[in-house]
Amino acid sequence: MRKKIVAGNWKMNNDQRETAELIAALKSIRFSTKTRVMIAPAFTQLQQAVALTEGTRLEVLAQNMNAATNGAFTGEISAPMLNSIGIQNVILGHSERRAYYNETDDSLKSKVDTALLHDMEVVFCFGEELNERKSAIHFDVVKRQLEKALFHLDSGQWSNIILAYEPVWAIGTGETATPDQAQEIHAYVRDLIASKYESSLANSISILYGGSVKPANAAAIFSQNDVDGGLIGGAALQAEDFKAIIQSA
Ligand code: PEP
């Protein structure tokens, strides 16, 4: 049985004081044992977040990492560095990183391989841009993103992969995919995995939806058969909103 997952991507928000305040508020949230809740603070706050969430069911994940394990990559952070402070999960392929930092299907494939080599769980983001949906090539785009970055993995490696469908036109825009639009892509992705691997594997993969999820729309989206929770941006910065979203899962 797939667990529901609600992951908050804090992006470049929350300094030390704000991190402490938000985590203090999140710690009082009660949620089902069938749900996993994750938060992704900026690199500088990861160690603090790990310490503050110790003994709770809140999981801390990184927003990014480098494909190399060490070396002359000024300003970068490696998987072993993350492991050394207790981080075992990482978001890869977020559309902001694809758009502003030139991350490509090929570079993401390398990052995925490195993360898995270091026993990390990957929340892999994919999704089409607005012009791609308008041109009705969104299924092709999603297929390409998954095939190029993930379909070289063997079945066993998929146990450390969580997918997050994030249509770029819905991220931070206030425009959300309808529950039907989310379900349509999630079901398509599950079928794609089943045809490349097998149905039991496809059915075991959590596929999250991300893109302007708010307390008012979370339940309708999360109730879709193939939607296993959400990757939340803006609403994850407000404890009350994040709580309502978690409790909708
Ligand atoms: C995101 O950036 O992953 C995201 C889903 O953002 P928002 O919820 O703000 O659209």
Q: What is the pLDDT of residue 174?
A: 83
Average pLDDT over residues 152-158: 98
Q: Which residues contact 146 (CB under 8 A, 6 or more apart)?
A: 126, 163, 189, 192, 193
Report the chain's mean pLDDT, rounded to a whole number. Answer: 97
Catalytic-residue membership of 147: no
Catalytic-residue membership of 240: no
Distance 129 CA to ligand 1 centre (A): 14
Q: What is the pTM of this model?
A: 0.97
Q: What is the pLDDT of residue 192?
A: 98
Which 3 state secondary structure label does DSSP give 32?
coil
Q: What is the pLDDT of residue 172?
A: 84
Atom of ligand 1 nearest to the CA of 210: 5
Average pLDDT over residues 90-97: 98
Distance 96 CA to ligand 1 centre (A): 10
Average pLDDT over residues 138-167: 98
Please report how many Cα atoms fall inside a 13 Å half-sphere around the Cα of residue 109, on the Cβ side: 13
Q: Do 25 and 57 form a contact (C-beta atoms < 8 A)?
A: no
Domains of the chain: 4-246 (3.20.20.70)
Average pLDDT over residues 19-25: 98
Q: What is the pLDDT of residue 226?
A: 98
